[in-house]
Amino acid sequence: MKSLWDDREAAFFQDDELGLRVYSARLLGARPDLVLHGGGNSSLKARIRDFLGRELEALFVKGSGWDMKTIEKPGFPAVRLEDARLLAELDELSDPDMTRQLRAALLDPGAPSPSVEAILHAILPARFVDHTHADAVVTLTNNPDQERIVREVYPDCLVLPFVMPGFVLSKQVHHAMGGLDLDRIKGIILLHHGVFTWGDDARTAYENMIELVTRAEDYIEENGTADAVRASHGVDLFDLARIRRAVSRVRGTAQLAILDRSPDAQGYASRSDVDEIACRGPITPDHVIRTKRIPVILPKRTGEGVPEVEAFGETYRGYFERNRTEGLRMLDAAPRAGIWRETGTLAFGSSIEECGIITDLARHTRWAVQTGETLGGWQALSEAEIFELEYWSLEQAKLGRGARPGPHQGKIAVVTGAASGIGRATAAALAEDGAAVVGLDRHPGVREQFGDDGIICDVTDAPAVAEAIERIVERYGGLDIAVCNAGLFQSGELLEAQSDELWDRTIAVNLTATQRFLKAAIPYLKLGVDPSILIVGSRNYAAPGPGAGAYSVSKAGVTQLARVAALELAAAGVRVNVVHPDAVFDTGAWTQDALARSAARYDMTIDAYKKKNLMKTEIRAVDVGRLLSAMASDVFRATTGAQIPVDGGNDRVI
Ligand SMILES: [Zn+2]
């Protein structure tokens, strides 16, 4: 592993030690094979003055909630060093007391809580201390022959057996270091966990870390092979949607299922021994809160109900019962990670971010596991030790910070005509309520608004629509909410002068394209979680106007289509509902000129024209979007085949 230290960059922080601390912590954070997603921690000891001007020794240690990759100065809260050191002298210290006393030792009570390893950082006498869970080191310390290997690779390090992180680990190090000459020790190797290094300057601590990790990498290169198996296979999207539904059922809430089909993920999933080597436990214990102890192993072709997921839940219950202590409540029994034979690895979670973390952990885990196998095998911590970590309140606290989940958390939605107007507002409302939303639009602006989740697609191109639906299922694991919004509105042609072209085009976009879209989406929606189809109709359906024949007929057509769909799909649990909005004017489609012309036709001011309804209110795109999102939620769980106006009240509709 190459050192990323750059003297010119470091020179910026000549008189700013905390700045230098941030700089080298970020060098560690930049390497995912050193620390991943909040793993690892760093610290600095420095003399500072407190608020009242008194000089004291402070420990700046990584605060919880910060990631080494992006950490900044406020991510290193300062605690009184002496207080933190004295805590290590205690014979016992409960987790709540440790958390409270470390907070009490903060110089700023508003700062984030210090890392659970703060006491350990305090007792190491060097000024800069670094800690990582480097893949290569963890691979060696998970070897059945770890003692021999570690002694050979790290004769100048203190090697300690696994104990629980936090106070217990601090005590272990405190005892082990008594009487040792620290100048002759390069670092601490914690079996099944990671590595600590230190130095009186930032560079020494950092480069000692790089050196120790490089030694592990060299050992692996000489004695094993880091080459992963690679493979390339197709995926059955219906099986993927079935797996996702089964996991959501056990979790009790909708989950995304993000598949990693990279050649090395498929290669790992194609190993004949994968069910055995992947199910020994995590490579470093703090992964357990993200991944659970083991992944679910799925056959290449799943059955209808995917019994393996249910069985995973049963196994988890057994694991809980075997290891529980008095008063402990079981977490949900759903898997977070999956190995899908020959197909790849799966991450299950409530958000794209959560799944991304699990996918990253899986990638590093399979590297370490397969590399370990070539070095004579790999073994994880015991089930009981992993359980203790999984149910450790200080670990679980790391997960509990998210905002309250929205009604669509973990759900997958598609909106047509998403680049503007009602479609755009609906996509925003669904996303705000927690859904992963993919926008379809023939306008390229959909890419700017949705990034990779924007698909340029003309709804009248049926094969392109079907392909778009498949892309969504492949990306997120299924489909739950389909909003048929794309539409065309042109009026001003009386029937006797109706152009065939406008008629055909209106029917094609507003009606036929909706039928084709539903045809492609329904098979996946039937496998969705609380699935729902939403059709954007129009006030014109119940209250048509002269000169809008093609439009009114097309909206009557989709309304009838929705009623039939509601009848056909109720048995599969798919709800189908329609909203009938009046014109929304807060979109690009309505220019000032067009508004003025329409208002003049009714002999109204523009303002009066916009509010020509019983409640004298303007209908905005966001009103329609929020209603559609609500209708996809379980507030409307018992409603299907309904038509709801969003028109401010219209005497012809009422
Ligand atoms: Zn650690």
Q: Tokens 């036709």 map to which residue?
A: 601
CA distance linking residue 346 with residue 260, whole number of Å: 6
Tokens of 153: 């690779």
481-484 and 412-416: which strand pairing?
parallel
Neighbouring CB atoms inside 10 A of 603's CB total 8
Based on the fold, state whether residues 47 and 163 are members of the same structural domain: yes
CA distance 409 to 285: 27
- Report yes or no on 418 lying in a domain: yes
Q: Pick out the chain residues at pLDDT < 70.
A: 226-228, 400-403, 588
Q: Is 415 left (phi over 0), alpha (psi -120 to 50) or beta?
A: beta
Q: Does 435 share its domain with 565?
A: yes
Distance CA 489, CA 497 (A): 17
Share of the chain above pLDDT 70, in %: 99
Residue 48 CB coordination number (10 Å): 14
Decide if 445 is inside a domain.
yes
344 C-alpha to ligand 1 centroid (Å): 28
Say how many Å lie between the CA of residue 36 and the centre of ligand 1: 11
Q: Which residues pair with 207 in a beta bridge?
A: none
Name the helix (H) or strand (E) containing 288.
Answer: helix 288-291
What spacing in Å lies between the alpha carbon of 127 and ligand 1's midpoint?
A: 19
Rounded Cα distance, 446 and 224, in Å: 48
Is residue 12 left, alpha or beta, with left meaning phi > 0 and alpha meaning psi from -120 to 50?
A: alpha
3-class secondary structure, 172: helix
Say yes or no: 511 and 633 in one domain: yes
Question: Alpha helices of 381-489 — where are they, by DSSP H?
Answer: 383-390, 393-396, 421-432, 445-450, 462-476
CA–CA gap between residue 446 and residue 452 (Å, rounded): 10
Q: Which of 223, 251, 283 finishes a domain?
A: 223
CA of 129 to the centre of ligand 1 (A): 13
Token pair of 281, please? Answer: 């436990």
Segments forming the whole domain that contains residue 308 = 237-391
Copy the structure tokens of residue 150: 């570690």
Dist CA 133 CA 284 (whole Å): 7
Rg (CA), the chain: 30
Instruction: Answer yes or no: do 294 and 339 share one domain.
Output: yes
Q: Confirm if 621 and 587 have CB atoms less than 8 A apart.
A: yes
Supply the DSSP string of 411-433, one letter for each residue: -EEEEESTTSHHHHHHHHHHHHT
> How many angstroms does the Cα of residue 193 sit away from the middle of ligand 1?
6
d(CA 321, ligand 1 centre) in Å: 27
Both tokens assigned to 570: 């109720």
CA 350 to ligand 1 center in whole angstroms: 25
Residue at a domain's end among 195, 223, 251: 223
d(CA 21, CA 201): 9
Contact 344, 363 (CB under 8 A): no
Task: Using the mean position of ligand 1's atoms as its centre, give its distance from the Cα of residue 131 in Å.
Answer: 7
Stretch (H or E) spanning 100: helix 95-104
CA distance 54 to 48: 8
CA of 118 to the centre of ligand 1 (A): 11
400, part of any domain: no
Q: Count CA atoms within 13 Å of residue 375 on its CB side.
A: 33
Do 246 and 213 share a structural domain? no
Q: Does residue 296 share a domain with residue 195? A: no
Helix (H) or strand (E) segment spanning residue 485 = none
Helices vs strands, H then E, count in the chain: 27, 18
Q: Is residue 608 part of a domain?
A: no
**What pLDDT, on the 0 to 100 scale, is given for residue 227?**
64
| 643: Cβ contacts below 8 Å, ≥ 6 apart | 537, 541, 559, 562, 577, 578, 579, 580
Spatial neighbors of 638 by CB under 8 A, at least 6 apart, are none
199 domain-assigned: yes
Residue 83: give its domain's CATH number. 3.40.225.10
The residue type at 56: L
Q: Establish whether 551 is a catalytic residue.
A: yes
Ligand 1 geometric centre to CA of 592 (Å): 61
The count of other CB atoms within 10 Å of the CB of residue 623 is 22
Its sign, for the CA torsion 413, 419, 423, 426, is: positive
Say whether 58 sits in a helix, a strand or coil. strand
**Nearest one of 347, 244, 254 to 305, comparing CA atoms:** 244
CATH of the domain at 485: 3.40.50.720
**Whether 197 and 241 share a structural domain:** no
**DSSP string computed for 614-648:** TT-----HHHHHHHHHHHHSGGGTT--S-EEEESS
> Which positions ≥6 away from 53 have C-beta within 8 Å?
none
57 SS3 class:
strand
> Among 323, 358, 391, where does a domain finish?
391
Sheet with 481-484, edge to edge strand ranges: 454-456, 436-441, 412-416, 481-484, 532-536, 575-581, 643-646
Tell me the CA–centroid distance for residue 102 and ligand 1, in Å: 18
**What's the pLDDT score for residue 403?**
62
Task: With CA atoms as reference, report the closest residue to 258 among 369, 161, 187, 358.
Answer: 358
Residue 653 is assigned to a structural domain of this protein:
no
Q: List C-alpha distances in Å: 270 to 228, 258, 312, 353.
A: 11, 18, 20, 26
* Cα–Cα dist 245/305, whole Å: 9
> How many angstroms is it from 134 CA to the middle of ligand 1?
10
Residues 249 and 163 in one domain: no
155 and 278, same domain (yes or no): no
> Strand 296-298 relative to strand 481-484: parallel, antiparallel, unpaired?
unpaired
Query: Residue 601: what pLDDT?
Result: 86
Q: Is residue 549 part of a domain?
A: yes
Q: Is residue 2 part of a domain?
A: no
3 state SS of 16? coil
Of 268, 391, 551, 609, the catalytic one is: 551
Intra-chain end-to-end CA distance of the chain, in Å: 73
Does residue 170 sit in the same domain as residue 288? no
Compute the distance between CA of residue 391 and CA of residue 320 in angstroms, rounded to an integer.
10
In eight-state DSSP terms, residue 544 is -
Smallest Cα–Cα separation from 76: which of 29, 10, 141? Answer: 29
Closest by alpha carbon to 253, among 349, 114, 123, 137?
349
Ligand 1 centroid–CA 35 distance in Å is 9
Q: Which residues pair with 440 in a beta bridge?
A: 416, 455
Residue ranges with strand state E in 200-324:
256-260, 296-298
Domain count, the chain: 3
Query: What distance in angstroms lies between residue 395's CA and the mean position of ligand 1's atoms?
Result: 11
Query: Is residue 307 domain-shared with residue 362, that is, in the same domain?
Result: yes
Same domain, 255 and 371: yes
